[in-house]
Amino acid sequence: MQTVNRIDPLRSAVEALRRDGPVALVPTMGALHDGHLTLVREARARAAHVVVSIFVNPLQFGAGEDLDAYPRQLERDSALLAGEGVSLLWAPTVDVMYPAGFATGISVAGVSEGLCGAARPGHFDGVATVVCKLFNQVLPDLALFGEKDWQQLAVIRRMARDLDLSRPHADAILGVATVREADGLAMSSRNAYLTAAERAQAAALPRAMQAAVAALGAGVPAAEALAQLRDAVLAGGFAAIDYAELCDAASLAPLDAAGGVPGRLLVAARIGKARLIDNLPVPATRR
Ligand code: PAF
């Protein structure tokens, strides 16, 4: 596996890889876990070569958030990626990504506004800007993202459609199902912030979400199912809930009940130093 941290060698390396066939990009912020490695394996199954980017993007962290504390472990990550058959690791520094005078940003309206967008102002502008840059730097044929960040995936797809991106085309931006620990907790680099006691309590989140999905499927109105979910999550040891909503899976518009369109239950909740997000599908119940 080759590692590059400047744009010119990146472009030459990708050009050489493309001679063998399609190139897939898996953008990450590092601190890799099995969720990321699953993305890499999916990418390998679909492309001749896989490029992984590792960049902790300051633009997507708000004041007082965990930019400084975010785990950075490039050597360990690099060994994991080499073991997965990744061809190229793109690991730019902040100065390479945002040179002096950098003044351009991308803002995606609509899908970015509620949920994490409301709780973390500016977050999705930072995500859209860096992902657009990563796409333009690597020019991948396809790109893979985890469904754990459901809203992020919707924002990135909207951006690719609205800006007529061709590498990758919006249809080649693929979501991969969330990878979970044995007790149901979604894998996340931020799980590292949890103490052993908090880690044990954190399983209350997916448990309460599964119960809410079952209730919604049985026809319980969203307001009632979500109130039960909030009570269960707080009783399970979480300190606060940023949001718990049932939304249209595609537009992220709030829904009153499971119904004619595929829905998504999305939650963000705080425990100890961690803010955990998760989401589950809520199938349409009537036609
Ligand atoms: O999901 C992430 O790890 C980040 O938000 C991403 C997509 C790599 C952009 O920095």
CA 247 – CA 81 distance, rounded (Å): 35
Question: Hey, which CATH number is domain 2-176, 3.40.630.30, 3.40.50.800, 1.20.1250.20, 3.40.50.620?
Answer: 3.40.50.620
The per-residue pLDDT for range 143-185, each reduced to its tens digit, is 999 999 999 999 999 999 999 999 999 999 999 999 999 999 9
Q: 145 CA distance to ligand 1 centroid (A)? A: 8
176 DSSP β-pair partners:
146
Q: Which of 44, 139, 39 is nearest to 85 (CA)?
A: 44
Closest atom of ligand 1 to 131 CA is 9
Tokens of 197: 């006691």
Task: Give 251-254's long-range contacts (Cβ < 8 A, gap of 24+).
Answer: 251/110, 251/111, 252/111, 252/114, 252/115, 252/151, 252/154, 254/114, 254/222
The amino acid sitting at 250 is: A
Domain boundaries, the chain: 2-176, 189-279
**Band of residue 285 on the pLDDT scale cut at 50, 70, 90:** confident
Residue identifier of the C-alpha nearest atom 8 of ligand 1: 28
Single out the catalytic residue among 33, 36, 49, 123.
36
Kindly state if the Cβ of 151 falls inside 6 Å of ligand 1: no
The per-residue pLDDT for range 126-148, each reduced to its tens digit, is 999 999 999 999 999 999 999 99
Closest atom of ligand 1 to 189 CA is 3
> Does 189-279 match 2-176 at the fold level?
no
The per-residue pLDDT for range 23-82, each reduced to its tens digit, is 999 999 999 999 999 999 999 999 999 999 999 999 999 999 999 999 999 999 999 999
Which residues are within 8 A (CB) of 112 and not within 5 positions of it... i.e. 6 or more apart?
Answer: 124, 125, 128, 151, 155, 158
Kindly state if the Cβ of 29 falls inside 6 Å of ligand 1: yes
Q: 127 CA distance to ligand 1 centroid (A)? A: 6
The per-residue pLDDT for range 206-240, each reduced to its tens digit, is 999 999 999 999 999 999 999 999 999 999 999 99
Whether the predicted pLDDT of 252 surpasses 90: yes
Q: For residue 260, what pLDDT is reported?
A: 85
CA 209 – CA 51 distance, rounded (Å): 34
Q: 286 CA distance to ligand 1 centroid (A)? A: 35
pLDDT-above-90 percentage for the chain: 98
Closest atom of ligand 1 to 55 CA is 10
Mean pLDDT, rounded, of the chain: 97
Q: Which fold has domain 189-279?
A: Pantoate--beta-alanine Ligase; Chain: A,domain 2 (3.30.1300)
Q: Confirm whether 36 is a catalytic residue.
A: yes
CA 266 – CA 281 distance, rounded (Å): 9
Kindly state if the Cβ of 140 falls inside 6 Å of ligand 1: no
The per-residue pLDDT for range 72-91, each reduced to its tens digit, is 999 999 999 999 999 999 99
